[in-house]
Structure formats: C-alpha cells, structure tokens
Amino acid sequence: MSTDLANTAAADLLDADPQRVADTNAVVRALALPDGARSLEVFNPATGDTIAAVPDADPGQALRAVAAAEAAGREWAARTPRQRADILRRWYDLINEHAEKISLLITSEMGKPLVESRAEVTYGGDFVRWYAEEAVRPGGNVRDVPTGGATLLTRRAPVGLSVLITPWNFPLAMATRKIAPALAAGCPVVIKPATLTPLTTFYVVDLAYRAGVPVDLVQVVTTGDASAFSEAVLTDARVRKVSFTGSTGVGKILLKLAADNVLRSSMELGGDAPLIVFDDADLERAVNGAYAAKMRNGGQSCIAANRIYVQDGIADAFVEGLVEKMAAARVGNGLADDVALGPLIDDRAVSSMQKLVDDAVAAGADVRSGGHAIAGPGSFFEPTVLDHVATTAEAARTEIFGPIAAIQRFRTEAEVVHRANSTEYGLAGYVFTENLDRALNVADALQTGLVGINQGVPSNAAAPFGGIKQSGLGREGSAEGLDEYQEIRFYNIARRTTGSDVVGSG
Ligand code: NAD
C-alpha cells in the first residue's frame, strides 16, 4: 500500500511546472489519496500554507509494508553486487537529472534557501554514487589461525530488513545516506521520513523505482503516530536493523525498543558542537568557517557550531567580522533570490530561539546583532550574534538548532578543551588555528566523532560521519557506512597441512 502511495505521490509531483518556482504551491500539489484515507498536511514554513497531504498510516499498514519489503528482499539479496550497483548508479543519474525539482521540493517543505537545497541534492546524491561504487566491494577476507591447522574465511551478508527513520532538516540527504548503503548491501527497507518533510522522500524513492529498484523493496511509510509505528515495527521479528537520525531523546526510546528484538542499531543523534578560534587563526577563514558552521541550514544542523569559543586576543576582531556577515544575511522565503536565511521549521522553533536569547541576555550576554523573531506569515528569526554568553545560560548548555551564534571567550588551550568536552554530546567539533601541531593536538583531545580543521563544512560522502558519547552509534557514509548493513560471518576450515602453513613453501 505504501508503495502505491509513494508512486501516486511522486507521479503527482513530477507533473509540477518548474516555470512557476516563485509560487510555492505550484511546486507541490496535494497528493491524490484514496477516498477516506487518513492524511497529514504538509506546510511550507515560509508561508504557513498547506502544500500537500500525505497518508497517515496506522501500525497495521506499517506492518504490511514490512511484509512486502521482506518478500522483495530475498530476490534483491540474491542479485549480484554488480546488478545492484548498476541500479544505484542509474538512481544517482536520475537524481542529477531531477536536481532542480528536488531542490524546489526541499525548499518548499523545509524552507532552506534554494542554493542550499541544491547543495543538499549534490551531497545527498553523492551517497547514492558512493554506494553504487562500494556495492561491488563487499569485503570479506582470508586469514590463518595463528596456531596453524585452520584457515578462516570471513564473509559478509546483508543484515536484513532495515527500518530507517529520518529527521526533517536534510530531507534528501538523510534518506539517501541510509537507503543507498542498505540497498548496496542487499537489504530491503522501510523508511519513515519526518512528518514535517515527507515529500522529498516520496519523490526520490520514486526515482529509485524508475532506476530499477523493485517497487516493494523500498517502502515509504508516513504516519502521525511515530510511537505506534516504532512499537509495531521494531518489535516485529522480520525486522533486523534500525537506523535512526534525530534527537538523542527519541534515539534512547528506539534503542530500548530495539533491545527486545536485539536489532542492529545505528543512531545519528543530537550535537553540541564546540567551535574553537585560537589567537593564531586566520581571521577571515575563522569568520567564514564559523558563519558556515553556524548558518548552514539556518543553524538547524546536528553539526552546527553550538558553542563558539574565541581566544581573548582575537575575540573582538572575530566578533566584529561575524556580526558584519550575520547582519548582511538576507532573510526571506528560500525560493526568492539572494536569500541567505530561510524560515525555521515551525513557530515552536521561533519561540524557542526567543527564549534562548532572552535567557542569555538575563545572564549577561550582549546582543551584537538580531535577537528577535520576525512577524509572519512564516516562521522567521533574525540572524543573531550573542557575545559574552555565560556558561550558565541555556544557549551554552543546549542544542540551539537555529541562527544564533553564542560566543564565549577563553584564555588557554587546556581551559578551552576542558570546556568543549564538558557535554554529554560528541558529534562534531571545529578548530581554527594556523599552527598544525595545535590543530592536531586539539582535534585529538576533542571528544567528538568528527572535527573540522580551519573549515566549517566537514561532511562528505567519503567520510565516516557519526558521533561518540550520547551523539550516537555507528557511522554513515564511506566504506564504514556499508558495514552497518552487513553481518560479518566466518568459516573455520580445518587443514591437514604437510609441514609449513606458509603459502608457496612446498
Ligand atoms: P526527532 O527526534 O524529533 O525526530 C526524528 C524522526 O524521528 C522523525 O521522523 C520523527 O517523526 C521520528 N520520531 C519521533 N518520535 C519517534 C518514536 N517514538 N518512534 C519512532 N520515530 C519517532 O528529531 P528532529 O526534530 O526531526 O531532528 C532534530 C534532531 O535531529 C536534532 O537533535 C539533531 O541534532 C538531530 N540530527 C542528528 C543528525 C546526525 O547525523 N547525528 C542529523 C540530523 C539531525
């Protein structure tokens, strides 16, 4: 059922007239839903308008999707790696061919400026290309038992039916980063996109079908009751894997559910990234890097610079430079030209920004630019720079997830490393310095899964993205991302050797 709906949805979207980009409602029209189907509305956060409705699946429908995917999975797993790779490569080509429509869709349902949506299509498409390439390198190796007399053959097998749950902030990339390695490894998939941004997933999965992915193999399920979905699906014995991207709180709930079924679990969770600027940093690089690390996706990124630490000697010049850039950032509907900051995802996010600013100011912070919500329609907040944020302020202790640069100052390397690591999160960190030893020493000392050195956008399909501490389990992207969808098995082959085990010695 969900497959039919995905097809219907995507077919409808494909008819959209790209000429009318200024009219958000022209990009996404209401999906044709079966009579009497329960549905969920999707909004454009720049206008508040309803732009589409998607199915509101109940747990019974989700389990039917599980059954259909599982049945299709057997045939998919039996295909050769080259056959799977060729289909993934065609999917990548189709994503590129439809890049502009996908970008319009991302901006329409999520709000980010079109230029950033285009960058997301490049980034998200790269995972499909990467795993088209990795699919034919499924690993496995041969080794000898150290005491002799046996040879170990390790083999890799698909982990099995994988449930993928994605957030709203990167509607394309979070989906392809999971679906592509799952398919490359030979696994069937049930994907539940965020209720706020399901349209991009429908569209890109339809492109996968056009590329040759069997229609039952990838099931898209949208639902307004995420708990009922995960309780039904993750405890079903046919499911073998859960991969989740979202908040740490929800990740913990899913890990508890996964425990009952002992599911392989990958968790890409919340972040609290420190960004550290030392006195010996290149000022322009530091300002540009901090701006990118803060403002990409309107600050709604798990690796967004959350706590900006600036050393005393460079602090005034850095703050001035950042204020200038932030104040010049044009705010508006992401479909309009030259917009640098689109809307936040909803009004709740706007009021949470206002609370963070007010709380920081009450604790002594200076508002150097912005600081206010912008009147609707749409959910907008000014690009904001707060200087001298107290360690006790909420903005210094929580994931901001919006366009607020919260700056603290520091004196010594040891002090800033200690402060940077004083968090239960460990996803990303950033270091700006022209001293190579210092850059590497501080990167080594940071308790994070990834570090941007002299740059603010470290993600890449070739990199093993993921967090430590409460930021997650497992890695996405790179060769390691394929491991997450594979079981490693071994055969121990007894050998009657005629003397030395050394190959070629006889
Ligand atoms: P969220 O945790 O509220 O939702 C994420 C997804 O989980 C959505 O699809 C939602 O519908 C679903 N969900 C919620 N409750 C569920 C339940 N009980 N069972 C099953 N599914 C459930 O997060 P969000 O607000 O969409 O995204 C923001 C968060 O995601 C931030 O904390 C951010 O740091 C994190 N994030 C992490 C990464 C990463 O790679 N580490 C990437 C992007 C976002």
Does the Cβ of 227 fall within 6 Å of ligand 1?
A: yes
pLDDT at 28 over 60: no
pLDDT at 456 over 90: yes
Cross-strand partners of 98? none
Mean pLDDT of 406-421: 98
pLDDT band at 37; cut points 50, 70, 90: confident
Q: How far from each other are the two terminal CA atoms of the chain, in whole angstroms? A: 62
**What per-residue confidence (pLDDT) applies to 411?**
98
Q: For residue 170, how many other CB atoms are within 10 A of its CB?
A: 27
Does the Cβ of 110 fall within 6 Å of ligand 1?
A: no
**What per-residue confidence (pLDDT) applies to 426?**
98
Share of the chain above pLDDT 90, in %: 87
Mean pLDDT of 68-91: 97
Q: What is the largest CA-CA distance in the chain?
A: 84
Does the Cβ of 253 fall within 6 Å of ligand 1?
A: yes
Alpha-carbon distance of 346 to 405, in angstroms, equals 20
Tell me the per-residue pLDDT of 434-449, one tens digit each, with 9 for 90 and over: 999 999 999 999 999 9
In testing the pocket of ligand 1, which one of 269, 465, 478 has its CB within 8 Å of the most ligand atoms? 269
Q: Whose CA is nearest to atom 13 of ligand 1?
A: 226
Distance 176 CA to ligand 1 centre (A): 16
In testing the pocket of ligand 1, which one of 239, 243, 245 has its CB within 8 Å of the most ligand atoms? 245
pLDDT at 138 over 70: no
**What per-residue confidence (pLDDT) applies to 497?**
73
Alpha-carbon distance of 107 to 21, in angstroms, equals 11
What are the catalytic residues? Answer: 268, 302
Mean pLDDT of 395-413: 98
The atom of ligand 1 lying closest to the CA of 271 is 34
**What per-residue confidence (pLDDT) applies to 38?**
87
Cross-strand partners of 42? 52
Does the Cβ of 302 fall within 6 Å of ligand 1?
A: yes
Does the Cβ of 423 fall within 6 Å of ligand 1?
A: no
In testing the pocket of ligand 1, which one of 199, 250, 478 has its CB within 8 Å of the most ligand atoms? 250
Does the Cβ of 399 fall within 6 Å of ligand 1?
A: yes
Does the Cβ of 226 fall within 6 Å of ligand 1?
A: yes
Residue type, 434: E
Tell me the per-residue pLDDT of 297-344, one tens digit each, with 9 for 90 and over: 999 999 999 999 999 999 999 999 999 999 999 999 999 989 999 999
**What per-residue confidence (pLDDT) applies to 21?**
29
Residue 447 · residue 272 · CB < 8 Å: no
The atom of ligand 1 lying closest to the CA of 166 is 9
What is the per-residue DSSP string for 270-329?
---EEEEE-TTS-HHHHHHHHHHHHHGGGG-STTSEEEEEEEHHHHHHHHHHHHHHHHHP
pLDDT band at 17; cut points 50, 70, 90: very low
pLDDT at 14 over 80: no
Distance 194 CA to ligand 1 centre (A): 8
Alpha-carbon distance of 200 to 197, in angstroms, equals 7
Distance 319 CA to ligand 1 centre (A): 32
pLDDT at 463 over 60: yes
Q: For residue 235, how many other CB atoms are within 10 A of its CB?
A: 13
pLDDT band at 5; cut points 50, 70, 90: very low
Q: Which residues contact 147 (CB under 8 A, 6 or more apart)?
A: none
Q: Whose CA is nearest to atom 22 of ligand 1?
A: 226
* Distance (Å) of CA 324 to CA 289, 301, 384: 14, 22, 11
Distance 168 CA to ligand 1 centre (A): 8
Q: What is the pTM of this model?
A: 0.93
Distance 270 CA to ligand 1 centre (A): 8
Mean pLDDT value across the chain: 92
- CA nearest 84: which of 133, 127, 123, 124? 133
Q: What is the dihedral of CA 477, 478, 483, 485, to 10 degrees?
A: 40
Alpha-carbon distance of 447 to 463, in angstroms, equals 17
Alpha-carbon distance of 308 to 434, in angstroms, equals 18
- Supply angle C-alpha 479, 484, 490, rounded to 5: 90
Tell me the per-residue pLDDT of 230-288, one tens digit each, with 9 for 90 and over: 999 999 999 999 999 999 999 999 999 999 999 999 999 999 999 999 999 999 999 99
Distance 345 CA to ligand 1 centre (A): 13
Of residues 8 and 299, more confidently modeled? 299
Distance 246 CA to ligand 1 centre (A): 2
Residue 150 · residue 494 · CB < 8 Å: yes
Q: Whose CA is nearest to atom 28 of ligand 1?
A: 246
pLDDT at 19 over 60: no
